[in-house]
């Protein structure tokens, strides 16, 4: 979507290229292996879920989040308990912690694949009598099978939890997660070209995410001057664009003379306001309305780039 197409010679291969970026090789790896290879120095950049970075990176300072919101893979790492039995009236982490059932001899049993984040979260929130069992999938069945009292797992819609008679509780969200761009600090500082390539990727990501759901609207409007047309356009709240409308003359030849009876208006409009904007343009005399989606909106400089340089001490 950012015009950085990944080219695989063979779909069965795990190595590919991005032709638009020279001296760059793409590896397809399992999420946890991406983090491990970043830490070992085998990879310079990775795209992976924040939950995976947090679980397998374990706060390692060599991992730097370059972009923390790539706008896909949204989920949350959340604690869930049964809706029935002793948990029927338990609806918060505080209430769960205060249950008298949990003792040294009989601790709260939590099934999870997050054996670093889970214990860390419980300790930070004062739950003392807890033990964790590791599992990689189908955690929702664990309470019904009697092998766990609660689960700690990734949740997106919550449908699977509800279908298995489980519920999330207030204060039980460990982490909000989505896809992030993460880098090796050492690579960005020491490897020639790594920082420049990261800059270009970051700029493209930012510019595309800014453009998502935005459309360019162009229309012609009769008027006596650019200022008079702009005045009419700015009477409509949906036609302001990012920084105001662009108005420029449309030249034609009449009776041997070049004249400008019409002006072209160009504005940027969000998707939700698109039809309303078209209606408003028509109402003030706009015609020949053209609409096209945007790929990029580049700002002067992305704040995330300045933040990255600051983290690197540059």
Rounded Cα gap, residues 91 and 94, in angstroms: 9
Read off the pLDDT of residues 35-52 as tens digits, 9 standing for 90 and up.
Answer: 999 999 999 999 999 999
3-state secondary structure 179-193: EEEEEEHHHHHHCCC
Copy the structure tokens of residue 240. 């302001």
> Which of 51-55, 130-134, 265-269 is most confident?
51-55
- Which tokens in the block code for residue 124? 């930070």
Q: Are residues 40 and 188 in the same domain?
A: yes
pLDDT single digits (tens) 207-230: 999 999 899 999 999 888 888 888
Tokens 């929130």 correspond to: 125
Domain that holds residue 90: 75-176
- Beta strands 214-222 and 257-270: pairing type? antiparallel
Using DSSP bridges, classify how beta strands 25-27 and 15-17 pair: parallel, antiparallel or unpaired: antiparallel
pLDDT at 245: 86
Is the same domain home to 162 and 86? yes
Say if residue 134 is exposed, middle or buried (CB neighbours under 10 Å; 0-12, 13-18, 19+). exposed
Q: What is the pLDDT of residue 202?
A: 96
* HSE-CB of 218 using CA atoms within 13 angstroms: 11
Instruction: Give the H or E element holding residue 157.
Output: none
Which residues are within 8 A (CB) of 28 and not within 5 positions of it... i.e. 6 or more apart?
14, 15, 16
15 inside domain: yes
Beta carbons of 229 and 246 less than 8 angstroms apart:
no
Q: Is 11 in a helix, a strand, or coil? A: coil
What radius of gyration do the chain's Cα atoms show? 27
The confidence score (pLDDT) of residue 18 equals: 94
Per-residue pLDDT for 235 more than 90? no
- Same-domain status, 92 and 164: yes
Which range has the worst mean pLDDT, 7-11, 45-49, 89-93?
7-11
Domain identity same for 80 and 163? yes
List the structure tokens of 288.
């020949």
pLDDT tens digit string along 105-155?
999 999 999 999 999 999 999 998 999 998 767 899 999 999 999 999 999
Helix axes of 50-57 and 117-124: crossing angle, nearest 10 degrees: 80
Same domain as 14, residue 128: no
In this structure, what CATH number is given to the domain that contains residue 127? 3.40.190.10
Residue 62 counted as domain residue? yes
pLDDT at 64: 97
Q: Are 47 and 179 in contact (CB under 8 A)?
A: yes
**Looking at the domain assignment, is residue 202 inside a domain?**
yes
For 22-58, give the DSSP string.
Answer: TT-EEE---HHHHHHHHHHTS-SEEEEEHHHHHHHHT
Domain count, the chain: 3
Neighbour order of strands in the sheet with 45-49? 45-49, 179-184, 63-67
Residues 201 and 308 in one domain: yes
Distance CA 42, CA 191 (A): 12
Q: Which residues, in sequence order, are CB contacts of 204 under 8 Å at separation 6+?
A: 2, 3, 4, 296
Position 105 in a domain = yes
Average pLDDT score over the chain: 92
DSSP 107: P
Domain-ending residue, one of 176, 201, 231:
176
Segment among 127-136, 193-202, 247-256 with least mean pLDDT: 247-256
Query: Looking at the structure, do residues 200 and 227 belong to the same domain, yes or no?
Result: no
């Amino acid at each position: 979507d950012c015009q950085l197409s990944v080219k695989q010679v063979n779909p069965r291969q795990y190595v590919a290229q991005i032709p638009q970026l020279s001296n760059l090789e793409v590896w397809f790896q399992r999420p946890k292996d991406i983090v491990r290879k970043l830490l070992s120095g085998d990879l310079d950049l990775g795209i992976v879920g924040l939950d995976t970075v947090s679980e397998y990176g374990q706060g390692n300072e060599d991992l730097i989040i370059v972009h923390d919101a790539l706008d896909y893979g949204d989920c949350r790492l959340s604690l869930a308990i049964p809706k029935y039995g002793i948990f029927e009236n338990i609806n918060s982490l505080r209430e769960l912690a205060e249950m008298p059932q949990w003792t040294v001899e009989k601790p709260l049993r939590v099934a999870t694949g997050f054996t670093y984040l889970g214990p860390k979260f419980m300790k930070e929130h004062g739950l003392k009598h807890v033990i964790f069992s590791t599992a990689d999938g189908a955690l929702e069945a664990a309470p019904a099978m009697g092998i766990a009292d609660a689960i700690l797992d990734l949740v997106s819609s919550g449908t699977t939890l509800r279908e298995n008679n489980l519920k999330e509780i207030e204060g039980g969200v460990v982490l909000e997660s989505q896809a992030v761009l993460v880098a090796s600090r050492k690579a960005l500082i020491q490897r020639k070209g790594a920082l420049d390539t990261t800059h270009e990727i970051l700029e493209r990501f930012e510019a595309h995410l800014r453009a998502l759901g935005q459309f360019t609207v162009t229309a012609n409007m009769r008027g006596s001057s650019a200022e008079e047309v702009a005045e009419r356009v700015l009477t409509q709240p949906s036609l302001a664009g990012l920084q105001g409308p662009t108005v420029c003359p449309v030249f034609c030849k009449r009776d041997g003379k070049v004249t400008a009876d019409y002006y072209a208006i160009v504005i940027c409009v969000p998707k939700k306001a698109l039809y309303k904007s078209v209606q408003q343009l028509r109402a003030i005399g706009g015609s020949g309305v053209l609409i096209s989606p945007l790929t990029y909106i580049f700002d002067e400089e992305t704040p995330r780039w300045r933040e990255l340089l600051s983290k690197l001490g540059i």
